[in-house]
Amino acid sequence: MIDKTIAGLKVGDNQPVRVMGVINLSIESFYSGSVVKIDYVLDAALKMIDEGADLIDVGARSTWPLAQKISKEDELSRLIPAIKQLQDISVPLSIDTMFSDIADEALVAGADIINDVSGFTNDPGMVETAREHSCPIILMASNNVPGDPVGMDAVISSLGRIISQAEEKGLDPDSIIIDPAIGRWTREKYPIYDYETIDTLGRLRIFGKPILAAISRKSFIGETLDKPADERLYGSLAATAIAVRNGAHIIRTHDVAPTVDAVRMAERIRGKKQEIHQGAVEAELIEIMAQDDGAKAMISIGTTVEGSQVMKKKTVLYNIILKNVTTTEALIIKQEMLARGGDAALPKEAVSHEAENVSIIISGTALQMERLIHKIKNQARGLPQIAAQLDELIKNNNDTVHRYS
């Protein structure tokens, strides 16, 4: 169960989903409607808090790949006056920067949290800054440049490396919040990869860290709906609701009031994570969506790498319905599944041979399905074709481009 305290704010599975309001000081931003002038920073923050914001995130450098670049001096000159205005607000204050010296000055001026979209890759000194201030830090999936991992497997690999390196360097594991880098951070990152990230956001639970989703008005929404940034609110709310349903703990947004409503509905619909505590023993239901995630979960409890590789194909369960197969084929498939530890459901007409063609539901792990396919692909009747269909079905399900195109 994920349950952390971040700058005095409880975040996790048993807490309300937290909403982070964005104070944007960057005139180079992709969304000009979000830019706040320095004289109105405090008013903007107080309005967001009144609308339900649990945190405020302040940034002065646009991370939009097409934005005009600014100097560190310009970034600092915008940020520090804003931070000083906000040092006494009633919610935690996050500073959005990739530079350790800027983060240091912002923390001294009153910020509580570092939001580093480079995931420590831009400035290695950021780890030391976070450790010195004992502050929470938001780390976004990044390898060489911010947000460059393409696909959820790459996001997980990047975050795993970033987290391991941060903890090895002495960062408190409970201080880390993870961000899967939703958005067109690089040319190669097409909308389908953001669809996949939002749809499979729950895969990030393997890290045991609060998950932040920064979705608000991003380019994948514009490309999907063919709308400019100032017309992407409804698309943002739809994507936000799905992200919350799939496990987001914090939502970063330019539009606090409508986002709060979307979040509250989605979090009630998703229900609670199930766990039971009795004495020293804890029992928790975990959902494993991909074989490699199963391996990571096992390694996290001390299973050997070799053991996790042997076991991982047993962690993903498939339920597949085959329609209009012959009764003989259905009976063979059931027998073969039973022989491999899986099972299959048949109508009574199949058992009594009263029907020529029937439907069958087969249930089994990825390993059992793999062995079934291997067994029946060389048998008689239509079984080789069925084996090919099962193989293609499972491969398509695991193919991001096929699934989200």
Per-residue pLDDT of the chain (405 residues; tens, 9 = 90+): 899 999 999 999 999 999 999 999 988 777 777 889 888 999 999 999 999 999 999 998 887 777 778 888 989 999 999 999 999 999 999 999 999 999 999 999 999 999 999 999 999 999 999 999 999 999 999 999 999 999 999 999 999 999 999 999 999 999 999 999 999 999 999 999 999 999 999 999 999 999 999 999 999 999 999 999 999 999 999 999 999 999 999 999 999 999 999 999 999 999 888 889 899 999 999 999 999 999 999 998 999 999 999 999 999 999 999 999 999 999 999 999 999 999 999 999 988 888 899 999 999 999 999 999 999 999 988 999 999 999 999 999 999 999 998
Q: How far is CA 24 from the centre of its chain?
A: 23
Q: Where are the alpha helices (DSSP H) in 171-230?
A: 191-199, 219-225
- Maximum C-alpha span of the chain: 82
- Residue holding tokens 């971040």? 6
Residue count of the chain, please give it: 405
Residue 315 φ/ψ region, left for φ over 0, alpha for ψ in the -120 to 50 degree band, beta for the rest: alpha
Burial of 221 (0-12, 13-18, 19+ CB in 10 A): buried
Catalytic residue among 218, 245, 296, 312: 218
**Residue 229: predicted pLDDT:** 92
Domain with CATH 3.20.20.20 in the chain: 3-271
State the catalytic residue, choosing from 61, 189, 252, 334.
252
User: In the β-sheet with 176-179, what is the strand arrangement from edge to edge?
Assistant: 176-179, 137-140, 113-116, 93-96, 55-59, 18-24, 250-253, 212-214
Angle between helices 152-168 and 291-300 (to 10 degrees): 20
Positive or negative torsion for Cα 159, 162, 168, 171: negative
Q: How many CB atoms lie within 10 A of CB 169?
A: 13
Residue 78 annotated as catalytic? no
Q: Determine the pLDDT at residue 21.
A: 98
**What stretch(es) of the chain map to CATH 3.30.1370?**
316-404
The verdict on pTM exceeding 0.85 is yes
The confidence score (pLDDT) of residue 207 equals 95
Rounded Cα distance, 272 and 253, in Å: 24
In the structure encoding, which two tokens stand for residue 294, read together? 């199963």
Q: Is 252 a catalytic residue?
A: yes
Would you say the C-alpha torsion 58, 61, 63, 68 has a positive or negative sign? positive
Topology (CATH level 3) of domain 3-271: TIM Barrel (3.20.20)
φ, ψ of residue 315 to 5 degrees: the values are -95, -15
pLDDT of residue 371: 96
- CATH class name, domain 316-404: alpha beta
pLDDT of residue 347: 94
CA neighbor of 206 nearest in space, from 278, 115, 298, 273: 298
H/E stretch holding 2: none
Q: What are the DSSP calls for 247-269, one per residue?
A: T-SEEEES-HHHHHHHHHHHHHH
Residue 61: what pLDDT? 87
